[in-house]
């Protein structure tokens, strides 16, 4: 993939005055934008599949805001599979352009991950604070900033009154942080997007320098080890499922990294496939009992040049060998699998629009990259929609970390770029 080549000529560029007015308007409203983001982040929207309250209250807040601003909102309620909540709501709103047969959608998500260990936070993760130009809260970076930036852009495009080449819309989706089954998969199956539509999803990079057009495969697995529970003072009488489970996870960590070691500089930061030991279930409730059942989870992010079927087959073969070596039974459960879709072509219209528009705001050149994480962009590509991921972030993202934050400077930059993109058509 090549870095951005500056388009020749000025015929496809909006006037400098229009870009100036967009920037002026958004900067003028910066305090209102900051206050709105803080108000939204006070609403706990941890995904209900992860034990949180879900998106409903945040969706209610955002729908009320949009309708108060005069926008018509299409609310789509996806059924839930878990006990908490009644639905997973997603919101759509748009303004019309000359060509009403297609829409440029800016897609972000309303749900967040849990806060993790609260003692690692310097403030309550659901009571945002603003300090040194940064807003600290769970969801500030992932994905509050792009969500608010998209709303600011939509309002600016309506208020500035310039004719748009096509419809411009905002899609605020549910369930992105888990498996998107009640989010973007459901919405695509309900035909909420059209094949001619242009799609931009979250995909932040430092100062907006990268435009993502591809993503890795994703696989989440659960490894349940069965041993024999006994008193800790007689370990030889039992079979320590916890100890064996740790050995198995470490073995897979080592062997998978060795076997799938190919690098790809297109996937900028994490050049190789990653296989990470993450969560584990509680086993026994006391210290002096050797557990008979133990469960450990792993997160795989695999370069698209590898087959996911081959990775799973290798894991099964290692498990079979380790079962024999440790005289135990190991269950493999696939929690989530999302194969990387085909990369968006560099010549796709949405790629060219973002390549042209972003440098006009950021004053930085851009390059096309693959993304180590995974977004709903991968689902769009799976369904045959060319899309890009773009956004601004700090040099090191704080998404999913304690003391997650986002800077107002980058949020305003995103809003300006989102506002500018249609005028480069």
Active-site residues, by number, are: 111, 176
Structure tokens at 247: 């050995």
Q: What is the 3-state secondary structure (H, E, C) of the chain?
A: CCECCCCCCCCCCCCHHHHHHHHHHHHHCHHHHHHHHHHHHCCCCECHHHCCCCCHHHHHHHHHHHHHCCCCCEEEEEECCCCCCCEEEEEEEEECCCEEEEEEEEEEECCECCCCCHHHCCCCCCCCEEECCEEECCCHHHHHHHHHHHHHHHHHHHHHCCCCCEEEEEEEECCCCCCCCCCHHHHHHCCCCCCCCEEEEEEEEECCCEEEEEECEEEEEEEEEECECEECCCHHHCECHHHHHHHHHHHHHHHHHHHCCCECCCECCCCECEEEEEEECCCCCCCCEECCEEEEEEEEEECCCCCHHHHHHHHHHHHHHHHHHHCCEEEEEEEEEECCCCCCCCCCHHHHHHHHHHHHHHCCCCEEEEECCCCCHHHHHHCCCCEEEEEEECCCCCCCCCCCEEEHHHHHHHHHHHHHHHHHC
Residue with tokens 């879709």: 341
The answer to whether residues 406 and 140 touch, using CB atoms and an 8 Å cutoff, is yes
Q: How far is Cα 104 from Cα 423, in angstroms, rounded to an integer?
A: 12
301-313 in b/e form (b: 16+ CB < 10 A) is: bbbbebebeebbe
Nearest residue to 390 via CA among 401, 400, 362:
362
Q: How many CA atoms lie within 13 A of 152 on its CB side?
A: 32
Angle at which helix 145-160 crosses helix 408-420, to 10 degrees, equals: 40
Nearest residue to 193 via CA among 72, 80, 106, 89:
106
């Amino acid at each position: 993939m090549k870095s951005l080549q500056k388009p020749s000529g000025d015929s496809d560029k909006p006037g400098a005055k229009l870009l100036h007015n967009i920037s002026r308007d958004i900067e003028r409203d910066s305090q209102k934008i900051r206050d709105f983001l803080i108000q939204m982040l006070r609403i706990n929207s941890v995904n209900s599949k992860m034990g949180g309250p879900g998106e409903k209250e945040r969706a209610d807040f955002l729908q009320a805001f949009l309708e108060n601003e005069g926008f018509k909102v299409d609310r789509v309620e996806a059924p839930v599979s878990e006990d908490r909540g009644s639905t997973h709501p997603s919101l759509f709103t748009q303004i019309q352009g000359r060509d009403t047969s297609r829409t440029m959608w800016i897609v972000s998500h309303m749900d967040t991950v849990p806060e993790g260990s609260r003692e690692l936070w310097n403030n309550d993760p659901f009571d945002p604070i603003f300090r040194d130009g940064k807003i600290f809260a769970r969801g500030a970076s992932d994905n509050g900033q792009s969500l608010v930036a998209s709303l600011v852009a939509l309002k600016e495009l309506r208020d500035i009154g310039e004719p748009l080449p096509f419809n411009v819309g905002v899609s605020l989706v549910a369930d992105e942080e888990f498996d998107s089954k009640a989010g973007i998969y459901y919405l695509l199956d309900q035909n909420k997007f059209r094949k001619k539509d242009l799609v931009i999803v979250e995909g932040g990079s430092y100062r907006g320098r990268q435009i993502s057009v591809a993503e890795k495969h994703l696989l989440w697995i659960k490894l349940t080890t069965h041993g024999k529970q006994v008193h800790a003072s007689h370990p030889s009488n039992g079979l320590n499922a916890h100890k064996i489970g740790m050995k198995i996870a470490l073995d897979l960590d080592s062997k998978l990294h060795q076997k799938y070691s190919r690098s790809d500089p297109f996937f900028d930061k994490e050049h190789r496939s990653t296989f990470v030991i993450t969560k584990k279930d509680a086993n026994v409730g006391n210290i002096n009992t050797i557990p008979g059942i133990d469960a450990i989870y792993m997160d795989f992010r695999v370069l698209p040049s590898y087959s996911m079927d081959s990775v799973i087959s290798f894991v099964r073969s290692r498990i079979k060998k380790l079962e024999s070596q440790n005289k135990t039974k190991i269950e493999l459960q696939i929690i989530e699998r999302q194969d990387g879709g085909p990369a968006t072509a560099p010549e796709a219209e949405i790629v060219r629009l973002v390549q042209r528009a972003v440098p006009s705001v950021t004053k930085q050149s851009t390059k096309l990259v693959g993304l180590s994480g995974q977004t709903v962009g991968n689902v769009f590509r799976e369904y045959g929609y060319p899309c890009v991921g773009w956004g601004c972030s700090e040099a090191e993202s704080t998404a999913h970390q304690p003391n997650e934050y986002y800077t107002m400077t980058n949020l305003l930059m995103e809003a300006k770029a989102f506002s500018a993109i249609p005028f480069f058509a």
